[in-house]
Every structure is written in structure tokens, then in C-alpha cells.
Amino acid sequence: MATNGHKRLLIPGPVEVRPEILQAQTEWMIGHRSTAFADLFARLQEKLKKAFVTQNRVFVQGSSGTGLWEGASRNCIRDDRKALHLVGGAFSERWAEISKANGKQVDIITVEWGQAHTPEMVADALKNAAQPYDAVCVVHNETSTGVTNPIQAIGEVVRQYDTTGETLYLVDTVSGFLGIELRPDDWGIDLALTSSQKAFALPPGIAFASISDRVLDRAKQIPYRGYYFDFIEIDDSLKKNNTPSTPPISLMFAADKQLDDILVEGLENRWERHLQMRDLTINWANARDFGVFAQDGYRSPTVTTVDNRTKGIDVDNMAKFMGTKGFSMDKGYGKIKGKTFRIAHMGDMSIATMEEVLSGLDEFIEQ
Ligand SMILES: *Cc1c(COP(=O)(O)O)cnc(C)c1O
């Protein structure tokens, strides 16, 4: 494939997509009510269950991750109950906003950007709640800060305090899925949602979620679930290997191929490769007197937020310089832009490419 001056993406989404995967999108179009489509859907379902390590159904949705945020809030939170949102960065903040924008009542546990949520904080909130929460909403990997939350331990607490069986555990794993260990069934996660353009290393435009029976039982109790993200409709179609409206078929071809390659690599190997890329990046940042923004012990395997506050390099010049090396680089997100910058190491990126990136950054710093 001609590169046409393409710069390899080092930003935390969309990430670099391999030419073979881009190519898979050029398959001849098929009708979504055809047998060929049902076959494609059924194949994807089997592979997605392996990728999510779940026995539950996996929704395949034409939208970005934001769509499934809205779907999760609408289908899981009853109007006369509340959700507990854990907020510690731009994305977790936005999900809480989406719940509110859909008229839902929300309590929030806020931590400072760069900090993780602990199981103890969640236990306190659940202990003191006047009524059981309908949902606890957590972001697995906060992409704006580079923090990975301890979702397994938080899940244990959610189960422990869920004496009435009403509290659903909802996890946004948009930048975690296929880069960080995730076991929804073992960890009591009712819904794990993701989109395609982060560690899945697909083009944007398609989203996925593992959905427990408890989620569907809840959805049935909610009269106004909206239309596009009505989980009951989506599940009815899914049982027939189909979707309620026209799905992004080309992206599904790409996902079919990408899942084959991911399952050949092996989930555990893929998680391990991400840990190695994280450690390489953290060691680099520490050795150059930068430091890492995210709290020690919770540093993300998929994206490192480099703390630039003491060293204060010019992130615009850095991005320009990396551009001459053929890379497209991030300059930080939201209120910590410039004070930090992010190095994404997710998807199909190799250790060798990471080394190339870091030596490029060294050249910039030393010049
Ligand atoms: C990118 C991102 C989102 C938003 O997903 P879209 O696919 O852009 O809608 C949500 N949560 C996290 C943690 C993200 O990194």
C-alpha cells in the first residue's frame, strides 16, 4: 500500500491500523439480511466471546464508544434510582455527564486526575447509600491521565455490598480492551463496553459490549430506553445473527480479520506485550527526569502520561520534530495538556517501534 506521507499514529486513538486490516474493509459489500451476513455475524460472536473472555453475548454496534455509554446509562439505570460514577479524568467525567443528560440521578466519587479509585472508596459509598445503586460505573483505563483502575477489586466490593441483587457493574474498557487483562465473568462485570480504535487497533466507527442477563432483565424494567441503543431490540436481533439497523459491514470484515490475528497472538501474550511497552516507556521517562503523571501502582499498560512539569519541554516543537521522523504525536489532553504529554503504546505496536519512538524523543531532547 502506498504510504502517501502517512505518519504512524502515536496518539491514544485512533491508533495505527495495519495495512492488512485496512485492506479487509475492501471486501465486496453484502446485504445485512443475507446468509453471508449472518455467517459473518456468527463468526464474530464466537471470536468476540473469546476476546472478552465471556460466556455472555457481545453486542456489535455501529457507533463509537460514546454511543454505548449512552446505551448503558439508558438501559441500566431506572428513573427512581441512582448510579454511582467513579470520576478521575476527562472520560469518566463525560460518562457521568451522559447519565445526567439522559435524566438519570448520579452520585460521583471524584479523585484527582492522575489518581486511581480504590475498593475502599467504593465500599464507603455503598455502605452509606440510602438505597442500593442501580449501577456502579467505572472507567477501566482513564485515557486522559494514563491511570488503570483496579476493576477486579472494585468488582468484588460491588458484589459484596449488593445484598438486594440490584447493582449492576458497568465498565468502560475503551482503551483497555485487548491491551489490559479483562475477565468480565470472573470479575462480576455485567457490561464491558469498548470501541474499535484504541487497543483493538481497528478503524473507528464500531463499538462492542459484553452484556449479562442481569443487564437485559434491568432493561426490561425501563419503559423509555430510546430507540437506537435499545438493548432488548439489539438482543432480539443478535439471537438471529443480525442487527436492528444497517451495521458497519466493512468494519465487521476488518474486525473478523483482526480478531483472527489477535487470537493467534493470544490474549495473555498481548496483555504481556503491553506491559513490556509500558515498562519501557516508564523507564525511559524516569531516566530522562520527566516522571510519570499517573499514581505508582496504577500506571496504564496502554498509554503513559509523561509528567512534563519539571522539565517543561515544548510539546508543540516535540510533535513537529516527531513528525519529521514519521510519527504523529500527542500533546496532552484537556486541562493537563502541555504539562503532560501522552505516549500511546497500544494495539499492534511492537517493542521495536516503541524503541524507535523513544530514541526519536531522545534526539529531540538532546538537540
Ligand atoms: C476514547 C475513549 C472514549 C470515547 O470513545 P469514542 O469511541 O471516541 O466515542 C471513552 N472512554 C475512554 C476511556 C476512551 O479512551
Domain boundaries along the sequence of the chain: 8-16+267-366, 19-263
Q: Please provide residue 172's backbone torsions phi and psi, each rounded to the nearest 5 degrees.
A: -85, 115
Query: How far is the CA of 80 from the CAs of 68, 300, 303, 343, in angstroms?
Result: 22, 36, 38, 42
Q: Residue 157 Cα, ligand 1 centroid: separation in angstroms? A: 25
Binding site membership of 332 for ligand 1 (Cβ less than 6 Å): no
Mutate to test the pocket of ligand 1, among 170, 174, 196 (most ligand atoms within 8 A of CB): 174
How would you classify residue 87: left for phi > 0, otherwise alpha for psi between -120 and 50, otherwise beta?
beta
Given a cut of 70, whether residue 2 has pLDDT beyond it is no
Cell 464508544 locates to 65
Please report the atom of ligand 1 found closest to the CA of residue 66.
9
| 196 close to ligand 1 (CB < 6 Angstrom) | no
Question: Is the distance from the beta carbon of residue 172 to the nearest atom of ligand 1 less than 6 Å?
Answer: yes
pTM, 2 dp: 0.98
Taking the centre of ligand 1 as the mean of its atom positions, its distance from the CA of residue 257, in whole angstroms, is 23
Residue 165 has pLDDT above 90, yes or no: yes
Q: Cα of 67 to ligand 1 centre, how many Å?
A: 10
Instruction: Give residue 79's identity as a one-letter amino acid code.
Output: D
The architecture CATH gives domain 19-263: 3-Layer(aba) Sandwich (3.40)
294: left (phi over 0), alpha (psi -120 to 50) or beta: beta
Q: Is residue 146 in contact with ligand 1, taking CB distance under 6 Å? A: no
> From atom 5 of ligand 1, which residue's Cα is the shortest distance away?
65
Is the Cβ atom of 194 under 6 angstroms away from ligand 1? no
44 touches ligand 1 (CB under 6 Å): no
Q: pLDDT tens across 335-347, in order?
A: 889 899 999 999 9
Higher per-residue confidence, 157 vs 333? 157
Q: Is the CB of 179 within 6 Å of ligand 1?
A: no
For the stretch 205-237, pLDDT in tens is 999 999 999 999 999 999 999 999 999 999 999
CATH number listed for the domain at residues 8-16+267-366? 3.90.1150.10
Q: How many residues does the chain have?
A: 367
> Ligand 1, closest atom to CA 13?
1
For the chain, give the mean pLDDT.
Answer: 97
Report the pLDDT value the prediction gives residue 331, as an integer from 0 to 100.
Answer: 85
Ligand 1 centre distance from Cα of residue 91 (Å): 7
- Closest ligand 1 atom to residue 173 Cα is 13
Confidence of residue 131 (pLDDT cuts 50, 70, 90): very high
pLDDT band at 4 (very low <50, low <70, confident <90, very high): confident
